[in-house]
Amino acid sequence: MRDKYETIRGLTRPQYPDLPPMPVKDRAAQFSPFAAVVGYDDAVLETARLTDDRVELHGDAADELDLALGKLRERISERPTVKITYFIPDGKKAGGKYVEKTGVVRRIDEVAGILVFQDGEKIPVSELRNIRFVE
């Protein structure tokens, strides 16, 4: 039995004068992975991204925060430097993250319920977890 490719085995690849050979780099791109569903990889990464749950303050922790806010109100004219921990809600999924900030508090906006820092950043009082004075 004869090999079915025997007749073409010794032939060379056809060359066309008006069509130069494709560079190896471009030929390799033909075999690169194909994303059949656009955005699927991003969705998987977003699902895998971890967030923290917001902790509601109760009892002693809530009282401690209220006392620190009261002390901050008393000392606001001194422009005290504080280190706060606050919650930033995630814009894409449930939860968020806790962040620490150290800075000089310029004022407390009681109507809007925010702390205004000297650098212009505004932190909602409702998102505060704790306040520590830096001496």
Tens-place pLDDT, residues 35-46: 677 778 777 777
Query: Distance between CA atoms of 109 and 73, rounded to whole angstroms?
Result: 10
pLDDT digit string (tens) for 18-67? 988 888 888 777 777 766 777 787 777 777 777 777 778 788 888 888 88
The structural domain count of the chain equals 1
Mean pLDDT of the chain: 84
Q: Give dist(CA 108, CA 124) in Å, integer.
A: 10
Q: Which amino acid is at 91?
A: G
pLDDT at residue 1, rounded to an integer? 54
The yes-or-no verdict on residue 125 having pLDDT over 60 is yes
Q: Is residue 76 part of a domain?
A: yes
Range of the domain at 80: 59-133
CATH number at residue 86: 2.30.30.100
Do the domain assignments include residue 8?
A: no
What's the helix, strand, coil split of the chain in %, to 5? 25, 30, 45
Residue 85 belongs to some domain of the structure: yes
Q: Is residue 89 part of a domain?
A: yes
Let me know if residue 25 belongs to a domain: no
- pLDDT of 71-120, one tens digit each? 988 888 888 889 999 988 888 878 888 899 998 989 888 888 888 998 98
In our burial notation (b when 16+ CB lie closer than 10 A, e otherwise), range 22-42 reads eeeeeeeeeeeeeeeeeeeee
Asked whether residue 70 is assigned to any structural domain, the reply reads: yes
